Structure 1
Amino acid sequence: MTRWTHDIPRWPSGLRDETSLPYAAWRVLDLVDGKRTLAQIASQLELSQEDVERALEQAQSWTSRALRREQPVTEAVLGNVTQALVSVVGPIGEFLIDDALEQVGEGATLSALLGAVAPELDETHLHQFVRQLRARRLA
């Protein structure tokens, strides 16, 4: 059973042409025009309808992550990121966040903040930090 209205898929909300997606997802999305059904898209691409649905779900997932990365750093987001970092590196995490905020400036995005923090972490801590962010639905 599909989750698409009348088996006619739509682009995920918030998806833009410049959103980074795997080729398999873009290949399907190139045919999503609000008129073609899943069956028509699958037939044209010589895929199963399940493969088309998987590509659409993957596009939705990637789009959601992209939108989260581009969200502004609010107090709530900052608190979550700080907690995630402190859980990995201890109290020094608060200082790393302060330094990163100075670097990215006012009105920064989550992506910019994380980009400023990441180089300060060794590989092990970076992987742990990313796991913490994923658990908090920030990465």
Structure 2
Amino acid sequence: MGRRRTGDAVTSLNWPEGLSDTTPMPYRVWKVLHAVDGLRGTDEVARLARTTPADVQLQLDEAARWVGQAVQREQQVGDAVARVVTQCLAAAVGPLASLMVDEVLEELGQQATLSALLNRLAAQLSHDRAQLFVRQLRERGMA
């Protein structure tokens, strides 16, 4: 990704691998990606997106991070992830966190994804506790 020069030729830009038009991302990222077509270079994408070449690279990097998060959220929950989620939830609800995580994982069964686990847990929390939970998840790169 980004601009690479070979002589005077500018390498075309492509979407990050794994990105689809249904990947949730902020508008500022989609605004740039809309101009990325596998043929245009950084300068042309920047012109079309009405931004700078430096911003084009920043938005492509951010898109790659969003893809990574989307993949992580759809993976099955293992023991290590369940422990981290429990720790994050404990900051919001205290010792009940372990019980809550275990109950939701039991409801979801063997195919439990991180996304499903987090959604079910957040639905059980008040607004303030949910915000604290999400803040903890973000600090650990899980939300």
Q: TM-score, normalised by structure 1?
A: 0.84
Q: Distance in 2 between matches of 1:133 and 1:13?
A: 25
- Specify the alignment match of 1:23 in structure 2: 27
Q: Does 1:121 align with 2:121?
A: no
Which region of structure 1 is more displaced relative to structure 2, 107-116 or 30-39? 30-39
Q: Distance in 1 between matches of 2:18 and 2:24?
A: 12
Matched to 1:112, the amino acid is: A
Matched to 1:82, the amino acid is: T
Percent of aligned pairs with the same amino acid: 41
- Specify the alignment match of 1:97 in structure 2: 101
- Specify the alignment match of 2:60 in structure 1: 56
Q: CA deviation at 1:65?
A: 2.1
Question: For this pair of structures, how many residues does the alignment match?
Answer: 137
Q: Distance in 2 between matches of 1:128 and 1:46?
A: 37
Moved over 3 A (4+): none
Q: TM-score, normalised by structure 2?
A: 0.82
Which region of structure 1 is more displaced relative to structure 2, 106-115 or 83-92? 83-92
Does the 8 Å contact 1:8/1:34 carry over to 2?
Answer: yes
Q: Does 1:108 align with 2:127?
A: no
**SS of equivalent to 2:110:** coil
Alignment match of 1:133 (pick from 113, 131, 137): 137
Does the 8 Å contact 2:3/2:41 carry over to 1?
Answer: no
Q: CA deviation at 1:19?
A: 0.7
Which region of structure 1 is more displaced relative to structure 2, 75-84 or 48-57? 48-57
Alignment match of 2:90 (pick from 65, 86, 94): 86
Does the 8 Å contact 2:76/2:112 carry over to 1?
Answer: yes
Does the 8 Å contact 1:88/1:129 carry over to 2?
Answer: yes
CA deviations on 1:21-46 (whole Å, 9 max, x unpaired) are 23332232233233211011122333
CA deviations on 1:38-80 (whole Å, 9 max, x unpaired) are 0111223333212322322332232222222112101111111
Gaps of 5+ in 2: 5-10
Alignment match of 2:12 (pick from 8, 14, 24): 8
Gaps of 5+ in 1: none
Could you say what the CA RMSD is over the residues aligned between the two structures, in angstroms?
Answer: 2.0
Q: Does 1:69 align with 2:73?
A: yes
- Specify the alignment match of 1:36 in structure 2: 40
